[in-house]
Each structure stands twice: as C-alpha cells, then as structure tokens.
Structure 1
Amino acid sequence: MSARDTVEGGIWKRVGLGTTTSIWKDHWIPNNPNGQSTTPIPANADEQKVEELISNFRWNKSVIFRRFNKEDAENIVKIPISLSRTGDQHFWIHIEERRKEVGVRGDSGSSYDDSNTQIWRTLWGLNIKHKIKLFIWRCITNTLTARETIFRRTKQGSPCCLRCGDKIETVEHILFHCAQAQKVWKLAPVQWDGIQTQTGCFMQWWAALTQARSRKEGKQHLALTANILWQLWKDRNELEFEGKEKDGIKVVQKASIEWMEFEEAGTGKEARSTSETDAADARQREEGMEVRDLVELHTATQKATEGHKMGIGVVAKLNGTRIIADWVLVDRTSQLAIQDEAAAVRLALIKVWQLGWHRIKVINANHHLIAMLKSGKGDNPNTVTLVDDILALANLFQMCFFEVGKNSNMSLCQSISRYALSIVLDEERIFVSS
C-alpha cells in the first residue's frame, strides 16, 4: 500500500489540553464529516486554539454555542475532556477501518503510557497521608488553582506571586522557583540536585523523581519530599488568605515532623507495605478468596428519549452486600452508549477517590467497555481519552479492577439512572465511611 493510501483521510487531532490544536485548521471534531468545523471562519482567527473553549476541565458551552453553528457546537460538547492533562495527540483516520491511534504524540504522552503508569503506581505506593497523595495528583495534573490559572480563566485579579510581586505564580513557581521555595529546598534534609533542569514542569520533575524509588531509602525520600511540597503549598495559602508569613526553616521542620510521625505510626509488627498488600490481594483474587473492604462500584446510564440529558446511577456496596453509598447524577449524553458508560465510570471513580476508599471493583454491564478497560485501548479518539483517564484514576487506588455485570444484578443502579432524568441537581447519600 502506498504512503498516500496509508494516510488517506488525513491526520486528525485528539484534544488533550487543546494547546496545539487549531480551531479552524485542524481535523479535531470526530462527528463532523472531515473533522473540521463547518462554521464560517471569522476574520483574524488563524491562531485560535481549542484551549480557548475549555474552562476548568469542561467545555465552555456559552462560548461554544455562541461561536459555532448548532451542529458544530453539539458535536464539540460531545468530545470528552481529559482529566489527565495529556497533550493533544495525532490520529490516522482511515477510510477502510475505524479510527486508530498511532505512535505520533503531541505535547506529552498518554496518561497511561509506561512512564506515566509508573508515576501513578509510585504515588499510590508512598507511605503518606491520603490528602497529600491527592495534592500531588493535582500537581501532576496541573489542577491546583494558582494565581496564573485563576487569571487566565477569569481575567480577574493578578497573576503575579504575592510574595515575589513580579513573577507569574504557577504551581512550579510556588513549589520550586519562589524565593521561599528556594530557601526551603536549601534547608531541606533531602536534596534532588540532579533534576533541577526539570522544575519547569511539575509532571516531568516528579517523573524524574520517581526513578529514585529503587535506591536505598528511596521511597522514604520521596515521602519526605511530598510532605515538603505539601507544606510549601500550605505556607503559600496562609500568606494568600491569612496574610501570615512563615520562615523557611519552620516549613521544613513542620514537614519533617509530620513525615516522621506518620512513618512511626505505621511501623508496627502487623503493618505491611502497599506492595505486600497488593500482592496478597492479587493472590486472593486469583484464588477466588474474598478481598477485605472491597467496594463494588455499580454504574449505569440512561439517555432521555428527547434532548441531551443523561442520567447516571452509581451504587457502592461493601464486599458485594451492604450498600454504603449511592449517587444520582445528571450529565449530557454523547448519544453513544459506550462513551456515556465510560464517562459514568470516570465520574464514579472520582467520587470514591475523594472519599479515600482504597479497594475498588468497577462493575458495568457494557461488555465492550470492560474489554477496552482491560486492554487499555479505546477504539476512537473519544473513548481513548476516557479509557486513559479511567486507568490513570485506577492507578491511584490500592486495588482497582473491572468486571462485566449481569443485568439482573444491576437493577438498582439502572433504576437510579432512570430517576436521575427527573432531577436537576445531583444527589448523593453516604451511609458509612469505608
């Protein structure tokens, strides 16, 4: 087959951050015939990027429906936004076969490539507080609300660091480049001089940091580092919201003391490392034994007969019997069952991650979705984004696996999804803390 035949249909873009995808030039709207907008191109619009249409991990619908014709707008808002802060990626779109991802990548790799998989596993394996793991996850995914982020989204306030006065406040500035951060790292008992060149991007810096996990006391050094980062963020917030200044040595002392106390609290005879626990739980699953404190997460969706409303039902059962939580959620349907089900699973995992639950079995009746999650591969740009996000979230748990559910066992969450079509605001009930 000739090169011309191979690329027939052109190169399309899968939207990640939207920073490198041109609104008007690139092929990025999967449901449009050639992937491009059919809306007339406005004057001086050559450099407009898709990131201008995204706000806080959601499509800015008011901007989209104002800027594009109805068909374009409807197709754009069906595209799932990645939560993993992945870069825009290229796809070959063939006439003979459905969309197929190739090895050409954009700004950054997939959230589920080998290196990033190790990032999530290392993070979850650290012996640190759950809230610090969540904080590091937000640093990696660039979802902390630094001043630069707020100013870029709202055009209100100043993007400059309150302490420095003239430097733009990004997550990297707060944790590495601010005068306070530099002072703290000079005083810190753990040093990472070999990766100073990576501090322009937190995710790259953390990825380089995780390579030290295998060295002597490597995980302890990573855990202490995470505590220092957490205390730097808290120090910034005390200055931002309370006007309190703290000396750098106190930040280091606070981080060191909290890290040592947490380490000592978990060093009893009965304590087991996360890796030991994972291995034991894996053996239990293989041998058909019950895994203790396993939360079964049943998810289902229901599409309205008219309009774009979708109801989501989520039921959490402890060890497959006792209901400990349920969620009634409202979202917008993509008009594709598998994409809707994947979006529901992603949302459900975010909910239980916020509750601090550790062992999860996701149960969904869609065989195709479960097969994609087990293989780690989507079958089009939209499902690839959702599968990447789900697997990145799954790696944050001590255990998370996927199973096809029988319709006879899914009746409750299916009923909840139908009920969700009658409400306006989400509802949730948490009966116990697992």
Structure 2
Amino acid sequence: MVSDLINRDSVSWDPGKVRQCFDWNSSRNILSMELPSNLKDDFLYWKYHPSGRYSVKTGYYFLSRNQMMNDSPLSTKDERFAKLIWSLNIQPKWKIFLWKLLYDGIAVKVNLVNRGIAVDATCDVCGLELEDSQHLFRFCSLAKYVWDNSPMTVCCDITGFQSLRSWIQHFILLFYSEDGRHSTRIIWFIENLWGLWTARNTKVFKGIGVTTATVVELVNLALKDHEVFNEEDKTRDMGGIEARREPTLPPGFNHVDGSWDKASTRAGIGWAFICPNQADTNDGGGKYGTAFSALQCEAWACLEALKWANRQGKEEVLVLSDSVLLLENLRSNQGKEISIAWLIEDIRVIALNFRKCSIIKVTREQVQRANDIANTCRCTLSNLVL
C-alpha cells in the first residue's frame, strides 16, 4: 500500500522505506511528489495533461503530442525560428497566422479539398491556378505585385526555396540578422502576408473584387492596427511600472521564492518578512527538501511563508512571488497543474486565517532576499530561521 510509505506523524514520505522498495531514480521521483496535509480519497485523473482533467481539448492535446513525437524532430533552424516568432512584439493573431502558414494549416482551397470539403480549388483572385499557400502568397499575380512594390526587396520566385515555410523563414531570419529583434522589415513582411490573406477573404466571403489598390489599403490598415497595438502595449507596461514604483502595502509582506535543481530534485525555499516602516526588520526563514518541479517549489515556499505569518499572529499579509504559474493556479477554481493540487488547496485554506491576504506577481529582483535564503537552504541541506 502507498500509505505504508508515508510517515503519518510528519505527513511526509518515509525515505528509507521508499528507497527499500524502489530503484534510485524511481525513489527520487516519488520523494519529490507532494502529499496532502490530511487524508484524502483516491480519485481518477487524466495523466496525459498537466491539469489532470479529461476533455475534448486535453484529449486532442494528447493525440497531437503523439503525432509530433512520431514526426521528424524540428531542426535547429526551425526551433530558433519558432522562438523568434513567439517573442516578436506583434499581435497574437499575427503569431497564430504565421504559425499556421509555416505548417500549412491555413484554410486555402487546396487544403479544404484535402480535408474532404467540396469546393472549387481555383484561385478566386487570378482564376488561373489552384489556390494553395504557395500560390496565394508567392506566385499569384496579386502577390507578385505586392512583393515587387514593397520596400523590402523580397523576391517571390527566388530559387532554392521549395516550400512557403522555407521562403518565409529565409526572409524573416535575414531581416532579424541584419536589423535585430525590432526589425521594421519583419513587421512589413508580416503585414504584406496578412494583407494578401485579408484581400483573399474579402473576395471569397464578400464577393468584392480585389485590385492592387485594395491590397495596398489592407496592408496600410494592418500597419495602423499594429501601431495601435504597440501603443496599448506601452501604456500597459508603463502602468505596471508605476504600480511597482508605488505599491500599496498592508502592514507586512512576505518575499517568497524557491530554488530547485532538476537533476537531483533538491529544493530550497525561502521567505523574508518586511515591515514597510521598519527597514531593519529581519524576519523569515527557509527549508530544504525535494520537489518535482520549480512550480511545486514556488507553491511550497508560499505555503510555508503563510504558515509562518499565521504563527507570528499577522492579521494582514501581502505575498510577493515571481511565479506567474503559481498565480494562475491560485486564480483557477480547479487549478491548472494537478501536480501541486494539494499545495494550492492548503494555501487557500490557510489564507482564510488572515483578515486580508493577497498574493501578487513581482520581478525576480523584488524577491532576491528570499531567493538567497532558498539557495542557501538547498545547497547546505539545512533549514533556516532568521
């Protein structure tokens, strides 16, 4: 029985019994798993998704992951390009659009026919060729006009690029290498692709004739849309900076952080209690142990900090954490990661003991003191009380 491997007094794994029953690697993984603070009934869960819940979405995730594992792995160039796309400061819809283009997932007519949808696959723009992604974005007469008249010197029929994916990769990586991450030419390139797609949809779904002037207008609209997005993004960033400069703090707040080594699963946690009007306050502590993930380590640090504050008789507390994932799990009613389900439940329960308890996301620099404590506990395999 699993219960035989648990020390009932400390509600923790019994390392001796676990290592007696399992090999080293299995023991390490078991000992790093969280345990509930009190008895819980067993329950079924879907192990193929982090949430532990089965749905059509998580089932699709499982099947897609298996398909990706069977496919050939991404090349180094593909991995570098994928990271670049998701890091660009562009609208999310453009990122998804690019991603679909790269994997030929865009709903051009040839793809629709391949999926069993009965449509005439002839290009509605030129009426001469079948409408696949290569034709629509490179070889259609409208596409050639757009690229020939752009300020980027993009050659749509350049040799050596048999797929639309390799052609797009070539120019975006070229602009990135010459201009850097904030390349204006990358934005122009994506805007032209988006303009061609919206022009095509205007013709297909609205029956409105498409001319070169139409595409130019749609590209300009895309540029304005991007500029508005950038301005809103700057406003959000400035608002966040101002909020961090002048935080509204309750009488005391905890810095919390975790330190985790993936190879050994060793973990350290730390918390540092600060009173805004008492700069020399030096309260807090830290512990060492094992953890299954960095997220589990962060949740453990938050729980122990709240337990400490409760024992100290604090009535109001603000917890500062640099973990976005921890906050996302706390905000979700059911939690997003089943691997820390018990920790999240315990955090919510103990938070009810305070008159006011808030947990907010801050930068790593703002929890540096707690991080130093966590590193010390992990490296020295010792608990610490300040």
User: Greater helix percent: which structure?
Assistant: 2
Same fold (TM over 0.5): no
Task: Report the structure number with the largest CA radius of gyration.
Answer: 2
Query: What TM-score do the two structures reach when normalised by structure 2?
Result: 0.45
Using the size of structure 1 for normalisation, the TM-score is: 0.40
